[in-house]
Structure 1
Amino acid sequence: MNQIPQIFDVVIVGGGLAGLSSAIHLSKNNLNVLLIEKNNYPKHKVCGEYISNEVLPYLEYLGIDVFGIGAQKINKFQLSTPQNNILKSDLTLGGFGISRYELDNALYEKVKSQHVEMVQDSVIDIKFLDDVFSVDTKNNNTYRSKLVIGAYGKRSALDVTLERNFIKKKSPFLAVKTHVKGDFPNDLVALHNFKGGYCGVSKVENDIINLCYITDYDAFKTYKDIDEFQEKVIFKNTYLKTIFQNSTPVFERPLTISQISFSNKNPIENHVIMCGDTAGMIHPLCGNGMSMAIRSAQMASQLIIDYLQGKIKSRQGLENAYQKSWNNEFRTRLKVGHFVAKLFSKNKLADLLVTILKRIPKLLPQIIKQTHGKPMVVK
């Protein structure tokens, strides 16, 4: 077994899409990388599990063939309101459906083949002193590195330790995910609104349908359990009622996650480079959070490589470059995502918007374009 070096080039905190992608990218460029992740692989996660095709070139560069592990090609989009007003459109760029269980595991296996050091542990603190990071873990280990990538997800006790502003604000959203077997087109991603939320529906590998919805937690907790909430709220949308009632659960029980925050976050915190949901989240209504996580990993990794090779002359230069890249790539997406989600949270307005979009069919592709990027260029 190789001895862990005293100082790593990069420590990555969190082994989701962004963390794993960064680990592969950096190790392919001969950097000393440590990845710290608290969970085992493979593991299901609450996620919409639709990814736009913008990230395909990068995943190929990382050595991941998503269609080889069962991803479903998706090129059609459907949107409905609680009043069952429905809108259909083609997806110009297109995307694919793949579960986090399969994709994360494929990335994990690639990380292992790249001989990246991996530790199963929870990070409790990150300190920066004299141009070196110290990363402390729950198991009383401390790792030192030149750089740290934060890719530990939507919300963590580590955010409290780092005193991030968003963690102080109320996060009223709850998400629920389940996998089912039933009749649903392979090439379609659907977003069905209900009072107080919306549900994404799409196929993943093995002919499985992913159902993932987000709702206001205060509204949800007035019902005794998930079944009652679905019966009395979600099933008011007849499209959702049909899917739920004519399918067979794969999971023993749905997965849930609460306190989801869509507040603005800083992509640099205490000199830590944040990636994926740790840096910012787009509303699931826009269906592109997984792509953003993977894209942010590419941006961070390439800039880190440039910095360690001396092409970027200072740490401040690296941080400024990442902040600028993040804003250029994601600021508009996040603003549009917040705006669209706010509009569709009002039922009558949502119906009006769908009616308008039906009358002006060119408008919907433009809105979708604002929440997606262009196919990624791999250096």
Structure 2
Amino acid sequence: MIGGGLAGLAAALDLAGRGHRVAVVERKQYPFHKVCGEYVSNEVLPYLRRLHADPAALAPAAIEQFLLSSPGGRTLTARLDLGGFGVSRYVLDDFLYRLALARGVTFYLKNTVTDVAFDAATDQHHVTLADGRVLTARVVLGTYGKRANLDRQLQRSFFAQRSPYLGVKYHLRLPGFPRDVIALHNFANGYAGISAIEEDKLCFCYLTTRQNLKNHGTIPAMEAAVLSKNPRLREILGAAEVLYPQPEVINEISFAPKQPVEQHVLMCGDAAGLITPLCGNGMAMALHGAALAAAAAHGFLAGTTARAAMEAGYARAWNAQFGSRLRVGRTVQKLFGGPVLSELVVGGLRHWPGAVQALMSRTHGQAF
């Protein structure tokens, strides 16, 4: 596994549980924060329980309601069909890491992969680490997230395209905020999500453009000038206690289409395709992708399928499960961000609850 986020950790647990030797390369040391909305659809619970990794042990927030506001502050609410839970990546990833470590998974922490070369003669990959070591593996999963230098080495087409988006995340404390609600607040050229996580904390994460930040110079100035024009966000930013001194920030967030298999590497999670945060289902997709990739890899490693069949089968399964969701997500993204259009969309959806439920069902899956 190249990358030890949700997809890499879940796939590692899955394959280790099937009796395979597994290694994970991760550039950081657990635990650590990540830019992420930290809401997970309940569709993942059966899979996590099969992995003996039930998140109930982490006391996550139970989330059942959705609230959407326009830049001017008009709101609509809806019930989440499946519901979900809120837990920080700081806690969840560390939990999965410790389970994987206890089950024999090898970790190469504070390290990165600089090259992956497939040797057709031996039907194996040679994976070069930044410290010079070379690992040999029969199957490699790319689980390294939204964007990495490895994408350039693999000559992935999206990597050459500049993306205008950046993401910002804080953990907050805000007494009185309902712990069963995930709220999405629109502002000019962006939107912010807020929902409860473990303990009494909230995750506050937003997507905006580099131009917005450039226009105002600093994140606090941008928040005061742009986000706070939405009265819901003005109230949050004015009343909340920020729980760490600097926000987590990530640049070059690309929603461009990607391929689930690149040069014999099975891509998984955000490395395979990134759903717009507006749709709020990236963590569930990462876990579901891990389940698909682990099943495909197991068939090959057990000798029941050839490599070509493994790769083709995984690509079909991935596209069948996520292709439509990503397309809908990119379409929905275009409806928000511009103040006038956002106001019209939210105003219309307030009187058309069936459309809200239809959009949710098109961007979420079923329990797996």
TM-score range, shorter chain: over 0.9
The equivalent of 2:254 in structure 1 is 261
The equivalent of 1:111 in structure 2 is 100
CA shift, 1:300, in A, is 0.3
Equivalence map 1:347-366=2 (5 Å)? 347-366=339-358
The equivalent of 1:186 in structure 2 is 179
Looking at structure 2, the residues matched to 268 and 297 of structure 1 have their Cα atoms a distance apart, in angstroms, of 13
Equivalence map 1:309-324=2 (5 Å)? 309-312=302-305, 314-324=306-316
For the residue of structure 2 that corresponds to 1:210, the secondary structure is strand
Looking at structure 1, the residues matched to 52 and 33 of structure 2 have their Cα atoms a distance apart, in angstroms, of 22
The equivalent of 2:285 in structure 1 is 292
Provide, for residues 223-265 of structure 1, a one-character-per-residue CA deviation record: whole Å limited to 9, x for no partner.
1211100000000001011111111110111111111111111
Which residue identity lines up with residue 241 of structure 1 in the other structure? R
CA shift, 1:45, in A, is 0.6
Provide, for residues 132-172 of structure 1, a one-character-per-residue CA deviation record: whole Å limited to 9, x for no partner.
10000110000011110000111111111111110000111
Looking at structure 1, the residues matched to 353 and 34 of structure 2 have their Cα atoms a distance apart, in angstroms, of 35
CA shift, 1:65, in A, is 2.3
Looking at structure 2, the residues matched to 38 and 350 of structure 1 have their Cα atoms a distance apart, in angstroms, of 38
CA shift, 1:179, in A, is 0.6
Looking at structure 2, the residues matched to 66 and 22 of structure 1 have their Cα atoms a distance apart, in angstroms, of 16
CA shift, 1:173, in A, is 0.5
> Which among 360, 374, 379 is matched to residue 366 of structure 2?
374
> Which among 160, 165, 170 is matched to residue 173 of structure 1?
165
* RMSD, aligned α-carbons: 0.9
The equivalent of 1:135 in structure 2 is 127
Looking at structure 2, the residues matched to 358 and 122 of structure 1 have their Cα atoms a distance apart, in angstroms, of 47
Alignment length, in residue pairs? 364
Moved more, 348-357 or 361-370: 348-357
CA shift, 1:355, in A, is 2.0
Looking at structure 1, the residues matched to 312 and 7 of structure 2 have their Cα atoms a distance apart, in angstroms, of 20
CA shift, 1:42, in A, is 0.5
- Unaligned stretches of 5+ residues in structure 1: 1-11
What percentage of residue pairs aligned between the two structures are identical?
A: 41
Which residue identity lines up with residue 115 of structure 2 in the other structure? D
CA shift, 1:195, in A, is 0.2
Looking at structure 2, the residues matched to 287 and 208 of structure 1 have their Cα atoms a distance apart, in angstroms, of 18
Residue 124 (1) aligns with residue 114 (2): yes
Provide, for residues 50-101 of structure 1, a one-character-per-residue CA deviation record: whole Å limited to 9, x for no partner.
0100001111111222122121110000001111121111101111100000
Q: Which runs of 4 or more aligned residues in structure 1 lie more than 4 Å from their structure 2 counterparts after TM superposition?
A: none
CA shift, 1:299, in A, is 0.3
Looking at structure 2, the residues matched to 118 and 84 of structure 1 have their Cα atoms a distance apart, in angstroms, of 47
Looking at structure 2, the residues matched to 132 and 68 of structure 1 have their Cα atoms a distance apart, in angstroms, of 38
The equivalent of 1:38 in structure 2 is 27
CA shift, 1:307, in A, is 1.8
Looking at structure 1, the residues matched to 337 and 331 of structure 2 have their Cα atoms a distance apart, in angstroms, of 10
The equivalent of 1:195 in structure 2 is 188
The equivalent of 1:70 in structure 2 is 59
What TM-score does the superposition give when structure 1 sets the normalisation length?
0.95
> Which among 13, 18, 29 is matched to residue 24 of structure 1?
13
Contact residue 15 and residue 22 of structure 2 kept, 8 A: yes
What TM-score does the superposition give when structure 2 sets the normalisation length?
0.97
For the residue of structure 2 that corresponds to 1:200, the secondary structure is strand
